[in-house]
Amino acid sequence: MTQMIPAWVDGTLTAVEKYDVHRRGLRHPAISVFLLDEEGRILLQQRALSKYHTPGLWANTCCTHPHWGEDPKACAHRRLREELGLDAPDLQHCGQIEYRAEVGTDMIEHEVVDLFVGYYPGSAEITPNPSEVHATCWRSPSDLHQSLREQPARFTPWLQIYMEKHAELLFAPIG
């Protein structure tokens, strides 16, 4: 089954097949979630090895594209359940950013991203969907920054962009 997502084509938001959006590098809406535990660590996921782009790379807690007409916050909650089996507490919208990045296999992400941050106990059970997530871990922002500098090829381009250019925006809600 092909998944249709909203994308701008010639200035008009229209439904386009997801693979085609990434192959053509079309600008499209997205959401990204960062869950933090009581110690301020970030829940990261390693993308499933079967993903058509960036398989096996580490990313933020979750991200996706909203369905047509879907509220970004509702989309963020939906995707937390679908990818990680989590019913997260309230998510805070902390801004919207836009980026364009090559993600391999002739794919380009050109996303307008609503960013969300929420809190989740590090001791809580996480039940990843194996078709979406290979593994999870909790990392402090400082450890993550160091890993991104030392081994950038292990991480998705968007996580690198978020942490290098938007960390202040993402982590401002935590004080």
How far is Cα 53 from Cα 6, in angstroms, rounded to an integer?
19
Question: How do beta strands 27-36 and 107-119 pair?
Answer: parallel
CA 16 to chain centre: 20
63 has catalytic annotation: yes
Per-residue burial over 71-100, b = 16 or more CB atoms within 10 Å of its CB, e = otherwise: ebbebbbbbbeebbebebeebeebeebebe
Three-class SS of 50-83? CCCCCCCCEECCEEECCCCCCCHHHHHHHHHHHH
Residue type, 114: D
111 has catalytic annotation: yes
Catalytic annotation, pick one of 62, 94, 109, 111: 111
Q: Which residues contact 1 (CB under 8 A, 6 or more apart)?
A: none
Cβ-based burial of 45 (10 A; exposed 0-12, middle 13-18, buried ≥19): buried
Q: How is residue 107 written in tokens?
A: 């794919």
Catalytic annotation, pick one of 62, 63, 75, 94: 63
- Residues serving a catalytic function are 63, 111
